Chain A
Amino acid sequence: MSHASNAYRWESRAELATALPEEAAIYYEWLLGLPAGSRPGEALRRIGVAGVRAPEGGASGWIPVFYVDDLDAAVGRLAPGSWRTALSDEPGSVYVVDDQGSTVRLRTRKVGEAPGPANSLLNFDCSALDVPAAVRFYSGLLGLQVAEVAEDAYDMRFLLDSGDIVAGVFQLSGIERFEGRSIWITYFEVASVEESVTRAVQSGSRVRIPPVDSPVNRYAVLDDPWGNLYGFSHVFAVRGAQVTGGSFVPVGMDT
């Protein structure tokens, strides 16, 4: 048995590839109540959004950006399969499209650079067609441990780094919209999921999953006005968790 926290701790960012990127950046800054910077997207950078750009041949939507020490080593840990990599326009970075069709971006930490602060304002989960396969793939890619969430109805797993949550992996149901592929969802941490959802709906977003509790947070999933999937999250204050025999058990949860 080992102790774990429920905090999402891993150096990560997110990027958005969308139609009308400038308009979308203004939208998210307003939605999240961020004081606008000198140009659209600047305020989003402060919460870990690496960029908002037009789709250029690759995947569109919100894409998690995970930092790794060694790009080649990360990709080298993957078993052969139908996954592929796609070059990024940035040196030391690559897109990885998994066997189930969803995309993440990897970035190399610079040599000698200390790990950046954990990003508590964004978190991610992968809604997978095949949960065991997704867990194998991403735990290998990022070099993480896996824990199954005890007493969870949705076949949920956590990818952990020294007991801290890096991302969740869920079973995806209702897949027509995504043409049979898994999808990563980026969540923004907010004070009230309900209030954020109401504000989002009044401004053109559409609710895909209404506010609901997971073992560690309350969350909701929406489409933005350009059809990009995103979520709001409010992580519960948990005093600790235990990983026992591969099971993640939150302890002492306060909302």
Chain B
Amino acid sequence: MVSAARSGGLAHILGSLRSALSAEVAFFDLTGNVLSSAPARTLWDFERVLAVHRSADASAPLTVLPVDIDGDTVGLLAARATDDPQQLLPVAIDLLALEISKLRAKQSGQAQLLATLLEDIFTKRVSDADAAARLAPFGIDGAARHRVLVGWDPTAGPGRRQLSWGSIDALVQDRPDPLMRARIGDQIVMVVPDDAMVQRIAETLHAHLLGAGRGGDPSSVRVGVGLAHAGTAGLRASYHEALTAVHEGGGVRSPKRVDLAGLFVMTNTADSLRDLAKSILGPLIDYDRVHNSDLLRTLQVFLRNNRSIQATTEALYVHRNTLRYRRGQIEQLLDMDLDDSAHIANLWLAFAILDDANIRDGE
């Protein structure tokens, strides 16, 4: 079996195990995909395998053992046998774990490259033309309409996080994954063409993150689906939309409509945007600096609370007269009317630009 592992990977390990045990054997990932089996043409019942693994079906003529890597179960080895007199199965699961680790190391380089590139795109650290050229080797047409999916499992332990970056199936086949998953921080990010299958791919990502074999709480895992936009700047916008959806709650979620201000900020790469925003809000920034006041934040909280006096005073812990006074100061310094829709739109956009700039600066 060790010799088989050295020479031929999963298929050889299972072939050798089958011969030694004189029994059908198969190796599954936790969502029920058969990664390899011997003989190859065998239709297994994964639900039965899973039941035996959970000790719910002790009568089955099967032995099922977990294959672990770094303390995290990544697959199940099943043998249509109840006896293992030579203790071959424990050896086999060690060899399978080694094989998966080897394959993962091989592919993780490519996934890491994509993750770095996407991070550069999302934070505007790369020009759109350069980004499009660097996306091409990953099979992503930078000019086409795509959506970004962001998956996040807030309850995932460190071991599980390491393993959920991609499909074990693609790993085993040792082929580029046409829908590659990249890990950025604790998020799984996918870039998918805007077609009829987006929702299903998002649901599949959700199911994979949840892990059918782990029996977790479906509402704990979150997948955000950004809206469809063209170009690499569109990827940035879609990523932020997906991120917003993730923060809204569990399950698969998508924003109901386009946030035009957000879209404008995410897709516009003109360097002067931040200067324009500062020229609009500059009088408040300068005044706060000199007088150690809080007018900029007051205005931002006021706008975020839809100009509600009550909500704003509660958020800032100030009296309504204080807020009224500050509002007068703000209107005077900016020479703007906070009941004027055009002025409000400008201010909203200016804050969106500064927020984005601050995120990029790591503030």
A residues touching B (Cβ–Cβ < 8 Å)?
26-27, 29-30, 36, 127, 153-154, 170-178, 183, 194-195, 197-199, 201-204, 206-212, 221, 225
CB-based contact A198/B24 at 8 Å: no
A-B contacts, 12 of them at CB < 8 A, read A27-B197, A173-B41, A173-B42, A174-B43, A174-B45, A195-B178, A198-B177, A198-B179, A203-B201, A206-B31, A209-B42, A210-B37
Residue of B nearest to A202 (CB): B179
CB-based contact B175/A194 at 8 Å: yes
Contacts of A210 in B (CB 8 A): 33-37, 40, 172-173
CB-based contact B33/A207 at 8 Å: yes
A125 nearest CB across to chain B (Å): 10
A171 nearest CB across to chain B (Å): 8
CB-based contact B177/A202 at 8 Å: yes
A203 nearest CB across to chain B (Å): 5
Q: Given A201-B33, A209-B34, A209-B41, verify A174-B201 contact (CB < 8 Å).
A: no
Distance in angstroms between the alpha carbons of A29 and B200 in the assembled complex: 14
User: Ordered nearest first, which 5 A-B pairs have the shortest CB separation?
Assistant: A207-B33, A176-B45, A212-B40, A173-B42, A177-B45
The interface residues of chain A, by DSSP majority, are classed as mixed
B208 nearest CB across to chain A (Å): 9
Q: A194-B175, A210-B37 are in contact. List 8 more A-B contacts (CB 8 A).
A: A177-B44, A177-B45, A202-B201, A203-B197, A203-B200, A206-B33, A210-B35, A210-B36
Partner of A201, one of B45, B46, B80, B167: B167
Q: Given A27-B197, A198-B167, A202-B204, verify A211-B173 contact (CB < 8 Å).
A: yes
CB-based contact A207/B34 at 8 Å: yes
CB-based contact B177/A27 at 8 Å: no
**Cβ-based interface call for B260 (8 A):** no
**Cβ-based interface call for B170 (8 A):** yes
Q: Given A153-B39, A173-B24, A212-B40, verify A197-B200 contact (CB < 8 Å).
A: no
Q: Given A173-B41, A206-B33, verify A36-B177 contact (CB < 8 Å).
A: no
Contacts of B177 in A (CB 8 A): 198, 202
